[in-house]
Amino acid sequence: MSKDILEETPILNRLALHAFSLKFTTAKGKQIVAEAPLSKDMDAMLKQCNKWLKQ
């Protein structure tokens, strides 16, 4: 590939799957809630996408 042509690189090097909150009820009726903040790479990807949308 020529040095003059920029090669596309992915924003994320993995699947972009994330759930902020998961809730489920066990067989005994206990409710389980798990929450997770965005990872640094997912946050950076969303910020980059928002920049592109504003152009």
Average pLDDT over residues 3-27: 84
Q: What is the pLDDT of residue 4?
A: 64
Residue spans per domain, the chain: 1-55
Alpha-carbon span 45 to 10, nearest angstrom:
10
6: pLDDT strictly greater than 80: no
How many other C-beta atoms can be found within 10 angstroms of the C-beta atom of residue 29? 6
1: pLDDT strictly greater than 70: no
Alpha helices in 1-55 (DSSP H): 40-54
Q: What is the pLDDT of residue 53?
A: 87
pLDDT digits (tens, 9 = 90+) for 33-47: 999 998 898 899 899
